[in-house]
A and B are shown apart, each in its own frame.
Chain A
Amino acid sequence: MSDIVRLLGIARRALHSQQAVMNTTANNIANVNTEGYSRQRAILRENRSHQTMAGYLGSGVSVQTIERVRDNLIDSQLISERPSFAQFEFKGKALELVEDIFNEPSEYGLNQSLADFFNSFQDLSSEPESSAAKTVVRQKASVLANNFNRIHGKLSEYQQQLNIELTGAVAEVNDLTSKIANLNKKIVSAEVGGHMDSEIRDQRDLLIDQLTELVDVRVSKNQNGTLSLSVAGMELVADSLSQKLSLKTESANESGPKLVMENGNGEIKLTNGKIKAILDIRDINIENYKNQLDDFAVNFTQAVNDAHSAGYNLNNVTGTNLFEASATGAIDFAVSSEVMNDANLIATSDSMNEPGNNAAALSIIALQDSLTMDNGQQTFSSFYNSLIATLGSQTQEANFLGESYGMTVEKLEFSRQAVSGVSLDEEMTMMIEAQQAYAAAAKVITNVDEMAQTILNMV
C-alpha cells in the first residue's frame, strides 16, 4: 500500500509543478507588453530517488525555483554604451538649434549683412556727396549690429534654457538613485530565502536604463543582491543609501552652475551621458561661439572706427566713430549714437573741403579684404565662415556619433529582447506541454485510484 501512496505523491507533485509552469507561462503572457519585464522560467528538478532492492525508483518532480532570464553581459554593455548614445544624440540636437540661431546659409544671416554693409560703402564711394547713400550705409550698419546682438542674445538665451534642462536632469538623477537605493533595501529582505525576486530586479534594471541616459554611471554588484553606483569616482548609491547630485554657482561670470555632490564641493567631471552633453554645449561650444563673435565685433568696431574717424564728412567734421567705441562684444555692438542721429556725419574724404573725395570710404572698403582677424590670417568674413564651418562639422560629427552609438544600443537592446523578451509562440508551446503533462499526471491519479480499488476489492 505504501507504493500506492508514493505513486499518488508523485502524481500530486507533478500536478503542482505543472501548475507552477502554467502560472509562470500565464505571467509571461500577461506581461508580454510590459516595459522592462524579463520572461520568467520555472526550473523543475527531479526529486531524490529511493533506493530499493531493484535499484533506484524515481520520486517525481518539484519546482526548484522561478527565475527571470537575463544576460548580464548585455546589461553591462548597455550600461557602458547608452551614456555615449545619450551624449551625442543630445549634442546633435542642441547644435542643430545653434545652427538655426546662426541661420546660415541664408539671405538674412550675419554673412549677408556684412557683405551688405561693405557694398553700401561701395555705393557711397561712387557718390560721396549723397545723403541718401549715407542713410543706406547707416541702415546696413545697424542691420549688421542687430544681427550680432540677435545671435549673441539668442546664444545666451539658449544657455539659460540648457540650465533649466540641467536642473531637471539632475533632479531626475537624484530621484532615480533614491529609488534604486530603496529597491536595494527591498531586495535584501525579499531574497533572504535564497529565491530571486524577479519583479524588483526588473524594476531596478529599468531604473538603471533610465539613469544611464543621464550620466555615465559605474555599476557594481554586491553579494547580497544590492547594486552600488558611482559617477566620476563619487559614490551615488551604496546599499540602501543614496547621495544627491547638486548644482552650484560659483561666480556670476560663468555660463551656469557647476555639477557637484550635495555633500561636497569638488566639481564632478562626467565623461558621458546627457548631463555631460548639456554642460559641454553650454560651457564649451556656445561659449566658444560667443567669444569668437565678441572678438569679431570688437575688432570690427576698432578697424572701422580707426578708418572712419580719420576721414572728414562734407562739413569737415572728423574723428567721428561709426560704431559705438565702448563695445565690449557682440551684445553691445552698435552704430554710434552720433551717426544714429545724423547720417551725414559719415565721413568719406581724407581731406577737408573735398566733397568728391572718397578716399576714407575706400579705406573702409579695403577692410573687407584685409587680414584683420586671427593674428592677420583671416578676413572678417573668412573668420566668420570658418566659425560656421566649425559649427557645421561639430554638428555633423555629433549626429554621426549619435547615430552610430544609437545603432550599437539598438543592437544590444535587440539582443536583450532575444534573451529576455516574451515570445507568445514559445509560451503557447509551453502551455500545451504543461497542459498535457498536467492531464497525464491526472490520468496517473485515476489509474492509481483504480489500482487501489483493485487492492481493496481483493480484501
Chain B
Amino acid sequence: MRITRKMMTSRMLTSIASNRELFAKLQMDIATTKKMRRPSDDPAAVAQAQAIKEVASKNDQYLRNMTAMRDSITTAAAATDTILDQLEKAKSIASQGGTGTINAEARATLAMQVDQIIDTVIDMGNTNSRGRSLFAGTLTAATPYTRSGDAITYNGNDKNIELKIGHKTTMAYNKTGNDIFNPPGGVDIFAELVALKQGLESDDGTAILNTISTLNSSIDQVLGVSSQFGLKQEQLSSTEIILESENLKFADTVSKIEDTDMVEALVNSQILENAINVGLKTMADVVQTSLLDFVR
C-alpha cells in the first residue's frame, strides 16, 4: 500500500483526537464524580437508577410522615397516661368515700375533688398538638369535650386519620374521644365520673361503691388505648429502621450505577495521557523525516 504523509498525519490526528475525547470524558467523570450524566450514557442503568431514586424519595417522604405521626402519638400517649392517673385517683376516692364511717361533709369535699378530676380529664380529652385537637376524629378544629354542669358533650366524630407509611400501607394514628371515653360496648367514663360525683354529693354509699368496679373497667379501657399507642410507636420504629436501611442500600446501588470509580478513572486518565503524549512524540518524529533529508 502507498502511504502518503497526509495519510499518516491524518490517521495520527484521528487517533490522538479520539484519545483526547476519551480523556475529556474521564476528566468530566472525575470533576462531576458522576459517570452517568445523560440517558444515552447507559439507558438501562439510568432508568434503573431513576426507578430506585423514586422509591428512595418515597421512603424519605414516609419517614417524614412517620415523624409527624410520632409527634402526635407521643402527645396523645402522654395525655392518656394523665387520664389513667386521674382515674386511679377517682377509684381511690370512691373506695374512701364508700366506707360507712365517712360523713356527708367529708363526702362533699371528695365530690369537689372528683369535680376537679372531671375537669382535668376533659382537659386531657381536649389535648392538641400544634393547634390540632388529637381526640376529635377529623374535626381537629373543634374542642372535643365541653361541659355545662354535669352534662359533658363530645363534639368530635369517630373518624380515623391515616397517613401513608409504605407503598401500599397506611396507618391510622389517632384515637377518637369515643375510642377512649365511650367506646361501643364499653364504659362511658364521663358518665361514671359524674355518677361518682353525684353519689358523693347525695351521700349515697351504695351508689359510690357501685362505681368502683366500673372505674376498674374504665382503667382497663384507657390502658387498652394506651397500649395501642405503644404498639403504634413500636410499629413506627421498626418501619423506620426498615426504610432507613432500605435507603442505605438504594443509595449504595445508585452510587454504583452513577458514580465515578475514582481510582479506576484516575488510572485510566494517566494511561490516556501517556498514550496522547506518545502519539504526539511519534507524530513529531515521523512527520519530520522524508526522502528530502537524504537526497542532495
Contact = CB atoms under 8 A, between A and B. Distances in A.
Interface of A: 32-33, 95-96, 99-100, 102, 104-105, 111, 115, 118-119, 122-123, 125-127, 129, 349, 351, 353-358, 362, 365, 368-369, 381-382, 385-386, 388-393, 395-396, 399, 410, 414, 417-419, 421-426, 428-429, 432
Contacts, number: 163
Residue from B3, B47, B49, B51 with most neighbouring chain A CB atoms (10 Å): B47
Interface in B4-56: 4-7, 10-11, 14, 36, 38-44, 46-47, 49-51, 53-54
Given A355-B138, A396-B43, A417 B7 contact: yes
B39 A99 contact: yes
Given A357-B161, A410-B14, A424-B291, A396 B40 contact: yes
Contact of B292 (A125, A127, A362, A428): A428
Contact of A356 (B49, B51, B140): B140
B4 A105 contact: no
Given A129-B141, A382-B51, 19 more contacts: A104-B46, A105-B39, A105-B258, A111-B50, A123-B61, A123-B64, A129-B131, A355-B140, A356-B132, A356-B136, A356-B137, A385-B51, A388-B50, A389-B39, A390-B43, A392-B42, A423-B2, A423-B4, A424-B290
Contact of B54 (A123, A357, A381): A381
A99 B38 contact: yes
Lowest 10 A-B CB distances belong to which pairs? Answer: A392-B39, A356-B140, A392-B43, A395-B40, A357-B138, A421-B4, A126-B68, A354-B138, A389-B47, A356-B138
Contacts of A129: 131-132, 140-141
A389 B291 contact: no
B153 to A, nearest CB: 17
Contacts of A390: 43
A354 B162 contact: no
A91 to B, nearest CB: 11
Which of B10, B138, B140, B290 has its CB near the most chain A CB atoms (within 10 A)?
A: B138
A349 B174 CA distance: 16
A386 B46 CA distance: 10
B162 A417 contact: no
A389 B36 CA distance: 13
A399 B41 CA distance: 11
A296 to B, nearest CB: 15
A421 B6 contact: yes
Contacts of A355: 138-141
A353 to B, nearest CB: 7
B38 A418 contact: no
A126 B138 contact: no
A235 B132 CA distance: 81
A422 B161 CA distance: 86
Contacts of B138: 349, 351, 354-357
A105 B46 contact: yes
Interface of chain A, main secondary structure = helix
Nearest to A407: B14
A356 B39 CA distance: 43
B39 A395 contact: yes
A187 to B, nearest CB: 26
A113 to B, nearest CB: 12
Contacts of A389: 39, 43-44, 46-47
Contacts of B11: 414
B3 A423 contact: yes
B43 A393 contact: yes
B163 A125 contact: yes
B165 to A, nearest CB: 10
A99 B2 contact: no
B65 interface: yes
A147 to B, nearest CB: 15
Contact of A111 (B44, B54, B167): B54
Nearest to A116: B57
Contacts of B57: 115, 119
A384 to B, nearest CB: 9
B151 interface: no
Contacts of A425: 290-291
A299 B42 CA distance: 29
Contacts of A102: 39
A354 B1 CA distance: 89
A115 B130 CA distance: 27
B246 to A, nearest CB: 17
A50 B47 CA distance: 85
Nearest to A421: B4
Contacts of A353: 139
B120 interface: no
B46 A392 contact: yes
30 contacts: A32-B6, A99-B39, A99-B40, A104-B46, A105-B258, A115-B54, A122-B163, A123-B64, A126-B163, A349-B138, A354-B159, A355-B139, A355-B141, A356-B132, A356-B138, A356-B161, A357-B159, A385-B51, A385-B54, A386-B47, A393-B40, A410-B14, A414-B7, A418-B7, A421-B4, A421-B6, A422-B4, A422-B6, A424-B292, A432-B295
B6 A417 contact: yes
B238 interface: no
B157 interface: yes
A126 B168 CA distance: 17
Contacts of B1: 418
A211 to B, nearest CB: 22
B164 interface: yes
Contacts of A111: 50, 54
B75 interface: no
Contacts of B202: none
A230 B221 CA distance: 93
B82 interface: no
A254 B46 CA distance: 32
